[in-house]
Amino acid sequence: MSALKKSVLVLLITSLAGCGQQLVEFGNSSGGDAGTTTPPPPAGATAPTVTATNPGNGLTSLCIPAQINATFSAAMDPLTIDGTHFTLTSPGPASVAGAVTYDAATRVAHFAPASGLVGNTLYTATITTGAKDQAGTALASDKVWSFTTSASLCVMPVNLRSLSSFVAVSGAGLTNSNTQLPAVTTLNGDVGLNPTATCMSDGSICNPPAGAPKITGNLYANDPAGKASAAKADLISAYNDAQGRPSNATIVSNLDGQILAAGVYTSGSTMDLAVNGTLTLDAKGDQNAVWIFQLGSALTANTGSKVVLINGAKAANVFWAIGSSSTLGSNVDFKGTVLAQASNSVGTGSKVEGRLVCTTGAITLLSNVITLPAP
């Protein structure tokens, strides 16, 4: 090939290469639609957080808990919620031995000490950044909180068993009168009557759900399935459990004006709330705080009195074990499960968040609202 032909060939190849590069650059430009376009990086993932702890941070004089809990903002990888990443320490170099579990349904991690915690001691719980959500995103920083125990163990709730779905149970029937029409008595839960199955409202047989009182659950009156009978048996067990707990303090009758921390409170005779009186139950930030009141005889909450729950206290964790009967006056705002040996009577317009259950006597209602407590 002559020198001239070689020069022409080199020039042609160079020109074609330049055109090809321009085509590639055009295809990769922002205006092109070529499949080689690189997508932008994904936005940063949100790190999970600990939204609540129990015990809470900074609590003092806390009853000794059976376990320490932490609630997460997102579903976590259970393989990262373990004894390496969730620890408990007290003064000294060694960590507290314990087992860590994770409840996926509630997003709660539990630390259960291998042996009971010590009273009057500062403890520090830590969840490290080794804890990750199901997308593999770690906590942004360690979660650290502390609490100081008292000398007493935490009180556990009374086990209600099948009784938990019942708002009212009695051994001698239920009688209602709607004294504040158009308002009628409403029972927000199941009702069990055993052995006396009588349910009367203003002289007529109860006819739920259309009749009065309104019963949003089921009425079991010596039913073939035996649910009323089972509830009655569990009522007796719950009463015996509550009355059998070791007492923290003795109360001399009058509850008015008292602010009580969680515990077991005992009166060999009666307990009373004065007219327009107030009893305050203070959980001090402990959502599992429990109150048990043991009475040798009767409970009386006079007209306009109320039970007030503060700092995380729950009606579901308040129990009244009464040796005879309970009597709530008119316009009372009451909290807790009433476990009476004899009867329960409620005055006009009063409300109960809890349960009215009694072993041998009847329940008497007057335009009331009785509602199962939130868990």
* Structure confidence at residue 37 (pLDDT): 44
**198 & 78 share domain:** no
Domain of 135 in residue numbering reads as: 50-153
Q: Write the CB contacts of 306 (distance below 8 Å, at least 6 apart in sequence).
A: 273, 277, 278, 279, 332, 333, 334
| Paired tokens of 313 | 């206290």
Among the listed residues 350, 250, 229, the one whose alpha carbon sits nearest the alpha carbon of residue 293: 250
Q: How far apart are CA 13 and CA 5, in angstroms?
A: 13
The SS3 of residue 357 is strand
Same domain (yes/no): 186, 117: no
Tell me how far apart the alpha carbons of residues 75 and 58 are, in angstroms, rounded to a whole number.
26
Beta carbons within 10 angstroms of residue 284's beta carbon: 18
Residue 110 lies in a domain: yes
CATH of the domain at 114: 2.60.40.1220
Do 71 and 207 have their domain in common? no
Alpha-carbon gap, residue 139 to 109, rounded angstroms: 14
Structure token digits, residue 87 = 């620890």
Q: Of 59, 74, 67, 84, whose CA–CA distance to 107 is shortest?
A: 74
Measured distance between the N- and C-terminal CA atoms of the chain, rounded to whole angstroms: 96
How many angstroms separate the CA atoms of 23 and 41, rounded? 26
Q: Evaluate whether residue 234 is within a structural domain.
A: yes
Q: In terms of domains, do 139 and 249 share one?
A: no
Residue that finishes a domain, picked among 123, 153, 183: 153
Domain boundary among 153, 176, 200: 153
Per-residue pLDDT at 42: 43
140 & 180 share domain: no
**Token pair recorded at residue 168:** 């009212």
My answer on whether 232 and 279 are in the same domain is yes
36 in any annotated domain: no
Mean predicted lDDT score pLDDT of the chain = 87
Residue 54 structure tokens: 């129990």
Percent of the chain with pLDDT over 90: 70
Domain count, the chain: 2
- Any domain includes 169: yes
Task: Please tell me whether residues 210 and 341 are part of one structural domain.
Answer: yes
Is residue 28 pLDDT above 50, yes or no? no
Do 245 and 319 lie in one domain? The reply is: yes
What is the C-alpha to C-alpha distance for residues 204 and 190, in angstroms, rounded to an integer?
20
DSSP state of 104: T
Classify 235 as helix, strand or coil.
helix
Q: Are residues 210 and 291 in the same domain?
A: yes
CA–CA gap between residue 193 and residue 238 (Å, rounded): 17
Given this model, what pLDDT does residue 248 score? 82
Are 219 and 310 part of one and the same domain? yes
Tens digit of each residue's pLDDT (9 = 90 or more) over 192-239: 999 999 999 888 888 766 566 889 999 998 887 799 999 999 999 999
**81 neighbors 102 (Cβ within 8 angstroms):** yes
Query: What is the value of pTM for the model shown?
Result: 0.73
Contact between 100 and 110 under an 8 Å Cβ cutoff? The reply is yes
Same domain, 284 and 338: yes
Helix or strand run (H / E) with residue 241: helix 227-243
